[in-house]
Structure 1
């Protein structure tokens, strides 16, 4: 290197380090424009533990998937608030009691299976936690695009996100819609920025809830998300609180 080349190298700033390919760039917090939903206030009303953080991640994908207007925004916030415990639970818990396993999946868990895999409590004290990996493999193996029980797919593609995506097919579909490599890296679905993008797609496109919310049909969008009315009272409470903020 000549003296001139060395001198030029001192004057040229070093390139900024690149983030690893496995870590998505964080979603910037957008500037609040006139007419945009007040996401921090709405999410706070819907019971989110950290509404400012989630507002930054949800605002842009919500625009993309046309989650706007008082009823849509309030219904969406109520739903993701319920499904994720206010943004605090982004990975499915499979820590089922013995009796809950046979009640939830009667065709997949025999009494003997449940005794072997389930959580055991005595006098309200947990004496054995559930074998969650084994439960996921049995419950989800061989369906939803997953390989057979024991392939690892049941565990790798268990539910994640604000609106949980489950199964290899679900991760592949969510990844194609959002541009995220979710099938290859399923843990990304539990990162807040990815969870926000997937939830907006799931609500608006996968489950088709925008027009249902426009009609104020709480039971309708609850069935679309949940397949039934489990959690309806909590969703209704969160929805009414968020609706008071959205107007």
Structure 2
């Protein structure tokens, strides 16, 4: 399934001119990672639309310092605060890949060294591909196929943060893509 720029702008009205820049990479990602039905595309666009502020943010707004110590840092594979892994590997990309372990796994899967150059996830191509990798690696098509949007959100976010915005984008995407 290929999206048009008109469709993308209808789904993400705040994306502006960025929609045209990202569109070829989004379409390539949809194909590469089998996000290939209208229901899957609608769910994907809703989630990454929220996570990126409709292409506004490719880097987490927070400093990442919260990922330096404690159980969260350990879960993400970050080393103690002296190394600064929390800031170095804070959320980036359309779906906010976060933490040393995720950067390593994503980079290996995509054939790029994200540990040496984490900012690569802020480029349109890798921001999109990393979101597709995350989607596939977490088995998110099954949630989209089952219309389990809350379960999908929890799998991405760990909770239901931003659920109202995610659902509003999902509703627009379903309407634009003809999902019943």
- Same fold per TM (> 0.5)? yes
Q: CA deviation at 1:152?
A: 2.0
Q: Does 1:37 align with 2:2?
A: yes
* Aligned residue among 46, 54, 57 for 1:89: 57
Counterparts of 2:117 and 2:76 in 1: how far apart (Å)?
17
Query: C-alpha offsets along residues 164-190 of structure 1, whole Å, 9 cap, x if unaligned?
Result: 111111000001111121111111111
Query: C-alpha offsets along residues 174-207 of structure 1, whole Å, 9 cap, x if unaligned?
Result: 01111121111111111111111100111122x2
Counterparts of 1:219 and 1:168 in 2: how far apart (Å)?
27
Counterparts of 2:133 and 2:115 in 1: how far apart (Å)?
16
Counterparts of 2:75 and 2:158 in 1: how far apart (Å)?
18
* Aligned residue among 102, 106, 110 for 1:170: 102
Counterparts of 2:136 and 2:75 in 1: how far apart (Å)?
24
Q: CA deviation at 1:37?
A: 2.5
Query: C-alpha offsets along residues 87-123 of structure 1, whole Å, 9 cap, x if unaligned?
Result: 11011122xxxxxxxxxxxxxxxxxxxxxxxxxxxxx
What is residue 142 of structure 2 aligned with on the other side? 211
**TM value normalised by structure 2:** 0.88
C-alpha contact 1:67 1:73 (8 A) present in aligned 2 = yes
**TM value normalised by structure 1:** 0.66
What is residue 54 of structure 1 aligned with on the other side? 22
* Aligned residue among 138, 149, 166 for 1:235: 166
Q: Does 1:73 align with 2:35?
A: no
Q: Does 1:160 align with 2:92?
A: yes
Question: What's the Cα RMSD here?
Answer: 1.8
Q: CA deviation at 1:45?
A: 2.5
Counterparts of 2:166 and 2:20 in 1: how far apart (Å)?
21
- Structure ranking higher on relative contact order (CA contacts 8 Å, 6+ apart): 2
Q: Tell me: CA distance 1:135–1:228, structure 2 relative to 1, closer, same or farther (3 Å).
A: closer
Q: CA deviation at 1:41?
A: 3.2
* Aligned residue among 147, 151, 154 for 2:79: 147
Unmatched runs of 5 consecutive residues or more in structure 2? none
Unmatched runs of 5 consecutive residues or more in structure 1? 1-35, 95-131
Query: C-alpha offsets along residues 24-63 of structure 1, whole Å, 9 cap, x if unaligned?
Result: xxxxxxxxxxxx3324234222323322211111111210
| Larger helix proportion of the pair | 2
Residue aligned with 1:41, SS: helix
Look at both structures and tell me which one has the larger radius of gyration over its CA atoms: 1
Q: Tell me: CA distance 1:133–1:246, structure 2 relative to 1, closer, same or farther (3 Å).
A: closer
Aligned length: 174
Q: Tell me: CA distance 1:147–1:62, structure 2 relative to 1, closer, same or farther (3 Å).
A: same
